Amino acid sequence: MPEVTEVSRHEFSIAYAGAERKDDHSISVDALAPALLAFGKLMREANGEFNGKKAKANVFVVSDFEHKCFNINFELVIGFYEQVKTLLHLDSVKDAKDILEWLGIISGAGSVPVTSYLAFLKWKKGRKTAEVTELRDESGEGNVVVRVEGDHNTVTVNKTIYNLSVNPKALRATRDAFLPIGQDGFDHMEVRDNDKLVVTIEPNEVEDIVASCTTGIAETKETEPDVDITTAWLSVYSPVYDEKAELWRFWLGTDVIYADISETTIAHDALERGGSLTHDSYQVKLEITVDVDDKGVRGKPSYKILEVIKFVPAEPQLRQSELPLNPPTQGPNDEQPK
């Protein structure tokens, strides 16, 4: 993998607010957790649309105890690979602040002209797309004219913004980012940049954005695999004594899964320890891939361990008297156990 040659960072904060919550700075974990994950997914999808898949984006929550209200402090970090800078003109690469402005997170873009992703979703108001026409001009902006059903139904928008608006992963993440709104007195969202309030998304605007996300997801045929990377605990279901075996069976919660360990040293390290035991546990960075067919039907997930973070050996009393000596006979395309 090419090394990152340049890193762009930008911090901003999100606050879920409500008129009835002036003296309450708490929020339910159940409401907040999906929204935090959604912001990360949305920014990674946006970075992929603007800078290509080889530009890496990470989103961090930054600690800040000086605020006396409930704020989520984010830092978006974009890494530009040498390959990206070679293939693209430098001016065409969007840095972290650019991405946030094009998303409409730190820019209060109006609906005419529509200059951000969120502004486009607000303008659309959940209406179905009737026609999209690409403009050919010398500006190099790559604009399209979008016509939707109903009155005031035509707008010119940047093509990349439009592409993001038909990206089902981005739309689902956008919708989930607003999950706290409507719960526990939260009715709007505030965004601050350098401690300055720059964007307020009012209740009616939240409704318009969510409606457009729902309509867009229904209109889009998702055929690209849905790939999610998460941190998880896996425990060994059936040990394998073959260093060349690429698939091991693990418990993931209450499910038994096959996971690809080929990019790790799990097998080698197990043999170095004298063997692997049932209930040996691994904290891992796990890639979960779900294929989607041309009808939008999602298949069964496949699993790949990208990194071992921590290993916890099984207790001695959990050791098996007899351990299987052969790798699993089932392949990656065989029926996985339930």
DSSP line for 183-199: STT--EEEEEETTEEEE
Q: Which amino acid is at 248?
A: W
Question: What pLDDT does 109 receive?
Answer: 45
Closest CA to 92 of 100, 80, 110, 103: 80
Sheet holding 129-134, edge to edge: 129-134, 143-148, 154-158
Domain residue ranges in the chain: 4-219, 226-318
pLDDT tens by residue, the chain, 338 residues: 445 456 788 888 888 888 777 677 778 888 888 998 899 889 889 888 887 766 678 888 775 544 444 567 887 777 654 444 444 444 456 778 888 888 999 874 444 467 899 999 999 999 999 999 988 766 556 889 999 998 779 999 999 999 999 999 999 999 999 999 988 888 999 998 988 899 999 999 999 999 999 999 988 877 677 888 889 999 999 877 788 889 999 999 999 999 999 999 999 999 888 888 888 999 999 999 998 776 667 789 999 999 999 999 987 554 444 445 555 555 555 555 54
CA separation for the pair 35, 76 (Å, rounded): 15
Backbone angles phi and psi of 273, in degrees to 5? -80, -5
Question: What pLDDT does 211 receive?
Answer: 96
Closest CA to 240 of 206, 266, 214, 222: 266
- Interior/surface letters 234-262, b for 16+ CB within 10 angstroms, e for the rest: bbbbebbeeeeebbbbbbbeeeebbbbbe
Q: Token pair of 64, please?
A: 């800040």
Q: Token pair of 170, please?
A: 């981005």
Torsion (CA) 195, 201, 206, 209 in degrees, nearest 10: -90
CA separation for the pair 251, 242 (Å, rounded): 19
Question: What pLDDT does 221 receive?
Answer: 73
CA separation for the pair 30, 28 (Å, rounded): 5
For residue 183, count other CB atoms closer than 10 A to its CB: 14
Are 303 and 259 within 8 A, CB to CB?
yes
Sheet holding 4-17, edge to edge: 56-61, 72-81, 4-17, 188-193, 196-201
Question: What SS3 state is found at 269?
Answer: helix
How many Cα neighbours within 13 Å face the side chain of 68?
Answer: 2
Q: Token pair of 144, please?
A: 């399209």
Question: What pLDDT does 5 receive?
Answer: 54
CA separation for the pair 134, 112 (Å, rounded): 18
CATH number of 226-318: 2.40.50
Contacts of 286 (CB under 8 A, 6+ apart): 229, 230, 231, 232, 234, 259, 303, 304, 305, 306
Backbone angles phi and psi of 267, in degrees to 5? -65, -45
For residue 122, count other CB atoms closer than 10 A to its CB: 24
Backbone angles phi and psi of 309, in degrees to 5? -90, -40
DSSP line for 89-151: -GGG---HHHHHHHHTSS----TTTT-SHHHHHHHHTTPPEEEEEE---SS---EEEEEESSS
Question: What pLDDT does 76 receive?
Answer: 75
